[in-house]
Amino acid sequence: MNTRERYLQTILFQNPDRIPLNPGGPRESTLAAWHQQGLPEGTDYLAFALNELGISQEARLRWHGIGCTSKMIPEFEPQVLAHENGHYIIRDWMGAVTEISDRYDESYLRTAKDFVTRRWHRFPVETRADWAEMKLRYQAQDPARLPEDLAGKAQHARHDGAVLTETFNGVFWQLREWCGLENLCIMMIEDPDFVWEMAEFWGDYILSLILQLTTRISPDRIIISEDMAYKAHSMISPAMTRQFILPQYQKWLPALRNGGCSVVELDSDGCVDELIPIWIEAGINCCSPIEVAAYCDILEYRRLYGRKMAYMQGIDKRLIAQGGQALTSHIQEIVPVLFQDGGYIPGCDHGVPPDISWQNYLAFIRQLAELSGWL
């Protein structure tokens, strides 16, 4: 089997020859620490790790991005509005006014380059006039939204045996980018019609992109980015999720299935206990990262929902950092049980933080490789 076949067979509860390895990726500060701990500069960290452990490079889970863009066109011109007390205040490319330490530049505001704290001052959609202007930046038929050689990219991914994948912002994620979390939550109570208008616009916009995409190629995996949970609860109630978000998912999922997409993965940090049943109702069949510190219990989810939902990641980053018997016990509790049933590719339950040492990361990969048949 190649990587794509193993991935699909695993997530779809079929019969892979082995489970692909996807231990999780580091941020800048993590890589800086690892370079002090034995990882050579200028190397692919995972390729080097597999080589060190005597594991075939075929073990790693490889993705080929499609290159479709749902971002605003044109973007706002980033502008530094102030530099004071060790911080920049910047209007970023999304139109939000954001504060960040001057240890970083504007590029850290909207990408997961490192673990960076930001403070939000203003958001681009505060009034209906703002909304009227914002909508103009999301023209689904703009030819720049799809790569020119889409069929060629898909053919290359198939030839390479990689998983053909794309990511779209979910409804909550996108409305939060436009309005801000607090403003959006207030609007849901005080002006639900406005929230519904924005949600429906985003639903129709992404549906148009999906239809354009799936008339040309069949993606293997679509990720819906939808961070919408705190440590112990979802950010909005299940009732609000059903009111504003579920109807848009119910547009997307049939179109994706009809277009040959096998896996639709919902990516949300935090405690997703209240949300998984809604995702299943929508037709979503995989979720990640299943953060243990947010009280996510992957074994309980399997007991409750069976094979209706597959999972990625779900291994406690705190125990990977601790290493030793604590990590071994955690992995032995979770991984063999889910491997027997299928629908699970284990990995660190979010970005790999710098308190996970290079040696502990290698030990983590070794244990996953042993359990999944690569060692």
**pLDDT, tens digit, for every residue of 18-41?**
999 999 999 999 999 999 999 999
The runs of H, that is alpha helices, within 215-357 are 238-240, 246-258, 276-282, 298-305, 317-322, 324-341
For tokens 């231990």, name the residue.
Answer: 23
Q: What is the dihedral of CA 244, 71, 145, 211, to 10 degrees?
A: -10
Count Cα atoms within 13 angstroms, Cβ side, for 77. 2
CA–CA distance, 285 with 263 (Å, rounded to integer): 6
For tokens 């909207």, name the residue.
Answer: 110
Residue 137 neighbours by CB distance under 10 Å: 16
Q: How big is the chain, counted in residues?
A: 375
Residue 331, C-beta contacts closer than 8 angstroms, at least 6 positions apart: 315, 346, 367, 368, 371
For tokens 């790569």, name the residue.
Answer: 147
Q: What is the amino acid identity at position 149?
A: D
Domain ranges of the chain: 3-74+124-372, 77-123
Do strands 310-315 and 286-288 pair parallel, antiparallel, or not at all (unpaired)?
parallel
* pLDDT by position in tens, the chain (length 375): 999 999 999 999 999 999 999 999 999 999 999 999 999 999 999 999 999 999 999 999 999 999 999 999 999 999 999 999 999 999 999 999 999 999 999 999 998 899 999 999 999 999 999 999 999 999 999 999 999 889 998 999 999 999 999 999 999 999 999 999 999 999 999 999 999 999 999 999 999 999 999 999 999 999 999 999 999 999 999 999 999 999 999 999 999 999 999 999 999 999 999 999 999 999 999 999 999 999 999 999 999 999 999 999 999 999 999 999 999 999 999 988 889 999 999 999 999 999 999 999 999 999 999 999 999
Count Cα atoms within 13 angstroms, Cβ side, for 92. 23
Q: What is the dihedral of CA 43, 54, 338, 235, to 10 degrees?
A: -10
315: exposed, middle or buried (Cβ count in 10 Å: 0-12, 13-18, 19+): buried
CA–CA distance, 262 with 48 (Å, rounded to integer): 31
**pLDDT, tens digit, for every residue of 167-200?**
999 999 999 999 999 999 999 999 999 999 999 9
CA–CA distance, 152 with 92 (Å, rounded to integer): 34
361: tokens are 């990361």
Q: Considering only the top CATH level, what class is 3-74+124-372? A: alpha beta
Residue 247 neighbours by CB distance under 10 Å: 15
For tokens 């009227």, name the residue.
Answer: 132
- The string of DSSP codes covering 175-223 is HHHHH-HHHHHHHHHH-HHHHHHHHHHHHHHHHHHHHHHHTT---SEEE
CA–CA distance, 75 with 58 (Å, rounded to integer): 39
Element (H, E) at 151: helix 150-160
Element (H, E) at 3: helix 3-11
The pTM of this model reads 0.96
